Amino acid sequence: MLEVKVRNNNVEKAIRQLKKKVMKDGLLKELKRRQFYEKPTLKRQRKAKEGLKRLAKLRRLNERLDVQ
């Protein structure tokens, strides 16, 4: 569960913190994804594509670390 405390009546800062936490958790992305039924074949395709993206990101990170 996400929790943000408002300090010194600074609601704007608390809202920004909440938005940042929601984005980091991927909550909005999941809500949008669950809004409609996803067929099992499309679900497998999406998961495979996400896996490829994750691997590409890790490779880029490793290449960057190896160069330095």
Listed by start position, the domains of the chain span: 1-36, 38-68
pLDDT in tens, 2-31: 889 999 999 999 999 999 999 999 999 999
Q: Report the pLDDT value the prediction gives residue 45, as an integer from 0 to 100.
A: 97
Q: What is the pTM of this model?
A: 0.63
Kindly report the average pLDDT of the chain as a whole number. 93
Q: Residue 48 is encoded by which pair of tokens? A: 């495979």
**What is the Cα–Cα distance from 68 to 58, expressed in whole angstroms?**
16
Please give the pLDDT value at position 67.
Answer: 77
User: For 26-40, what is the mean pLDDT?
Assistant: 93
CA distances from 52 to 24, 42, 55, 57, 66 (A): 20, 15, 5, 9, 21
Q: Is the pLDDT of residue 42 over 90?
A: yes
